[in-house]
Structure 1
Amino acid sequence: MDSTTLIVIILAIAGVVTMAIYVLKGVLDQLPDVIKSAGNVRAEWHRFKRPELPPSADDREPPPAA
């Protein structure tokens, strides 16, 4: 193996490592938004499964006198 082949192999490995780091950084940058969205989805799902009941007639204020 001559020096040219060795240099090409080193450059190829460096390129692959650089691309892997770039992709990993992109994924890690999106992770906080994904976690926040998952929390929002979970909260909405719980709200959907247990809807709030309207207040009973006893809890309402009487209508103002005219």
Structure 2
Amino acid sequence: MTLAILAFFGVLSILLFALRGFLDQLPDVFASAGRARDAWHALKQARSEEAQREALQSAPPSDHQDEQPPAAA
């Protein structure tokens, strides 16, 4: 009986030690996930800004840009 009690508490202490190690790593995991999310949003924003710049550069100039204002008589 004593051996069973010792075995049970030994296994329990190992499980608690493993759980503590896992819980100690969670803040780092959440911080890494936040940094990855921020990097993803920055990448998407940079791509959309680049696409907008390319669209503006490839757009044909409007006819009104090259015209001079009419001269006053």
Q: Same fold (TM over 0.5)?
A: yes
Cα RMSD for the two superposed structures: 1.8
Unpaired stretches in structure 1, ≥5 consecutive residues: 1-5, 57-66
Alignment: residue pair count:
50
Aligned partner of 2:31 among 12, 29, 36: 36
If each structure's helix is expressed as a fraction of its own residues, which one has the higher value? 2
TM-score for both structures, normalised by structure 2: 0.62
TM-score for both structures, normalised by structure 1: 0.68
Extract structure 1 runs of 4+ deviating beyond 3 A.
none
Unpaired stretches in structure 2, ≥5 consecutive residues: 54-73
CA distance in 1, matches of 2:44, 2:31: 20
Aligned partner of 1:23 among 18, 25, 31: 18
